[in-house]
Chains A and B, each alone.
Chain A
Amino acid sequence: MTSATSVEPQDESLLCYCTMLTIGELRAACQAGRWPLRGKENTGKLCTACVGDLLYCLRRFGVDASL
């Protein structure tokens, strides 16, 4: 993975299409110290296409995340 884009994550956007997690839900969970949310534990682990975006958002929302 190289440098990221400057696109701002929008809360209404769907982040994980397998668990139906939105960016807003992720942001709120991170701010409340409640990540991973119950029922969303498999986020990023299924089709794997959102893993990079998930790590990017977690770091943006203050969670120290890595693979």
Chain B
Amino acid sequence: MSSNLSALMSATFYERGYDHHVEIIHQRDAEARRRLESLEVTLYDGAGALLATPKVDPARDILDLRALVTDATRSPERVMVVLDARYDEAIFPYRPHHYAYLHRAGSTAPPLYYAVNAVLGGVPDRVGATNINNFETYVFRQGPFEQRYSLLLGCLARFVPVTAQVFTYYGSRRVTHDVTLAPKCHAEIPLAAEDAGERLARVEVKSLFRLLSYVVGRRADTGDLVLFDHLFTYAK
């Protein structure tokens, strides 16, 4: 092991009633060499209050968020789960990737598999990447709307609030919302499915300081999650 430890802070959201498993290390590893040096987990409520700091073994492959959150807090609300990892750059030349499985227990909705959003340290200096990543887009498919869409945003800053602009596009019309989140606060921002007869086509999140962000879709009838995905950065 080299002494060059690197860092990555990723985060996701846990909602009650869901089976939610995070694959700590996604990269293939026939020799079982790839593991984190350390992993600290912290849980926050929507107002940014620290709920718990459950201890986890960094060598484990899968983190069961349902068990973790249920054991750590009785909060019935959505919880922001922050994963603060240290890793050896000799083992992960870019960075570790966390992926997650999500499914509401008993639901007929299909399970979801998504990439956990890397917020701090996603662009390690040694890689030399220069693309901006604080302007993100999600394009909605144009099928019939049987879902309610929203953004889940979280602020991983330590000292200062972050303001973001959320742009939603309906045909040629653009609707703008400003969102300000204090450190460790998080919120769900509903996205109207239609505006002036035009359908929701695209959403963009623009912030000077990168936020934790996911676009989600819920079944209109049951509220079950059927979409949970990070937004995408497009470099021109």
Chain A residues packing against B (C-beta within 8 Å): 1-5, 7, 9, 13-14, 17-20, 42, 46-53, 55-57, 67
Contact = CB atoms under 8 A, between A and B. Distances in A.
Contacts of B9: 17, 49
Nearest to A10: B158
Contacts of A2: 160-161, 163, 180
Contacts of A42: 125
Contacts, number: 92
Contacts of A14: 7
Interface residues of B, number: 32
B155 to A, nearest CB: 9
B210 A47 contact: yes
B165 interface: no
Secondary structure call for the B interface: loop
Contacts of B6: 17, 20
Give the interface SS of chain A, mostly helix, strand, loop or mixed: loop
A47 B208 contact: no
Given A7-B183, A49-B9, A49-B122, 10 more contacts: A2-B161, A2-B163, A18-B121, A20-B7, A46-B123, A46-B124, A47-B122, A47-B210, A50-B157, A53-B160
B225 interface: no
B113 to A, nearest CB: 24
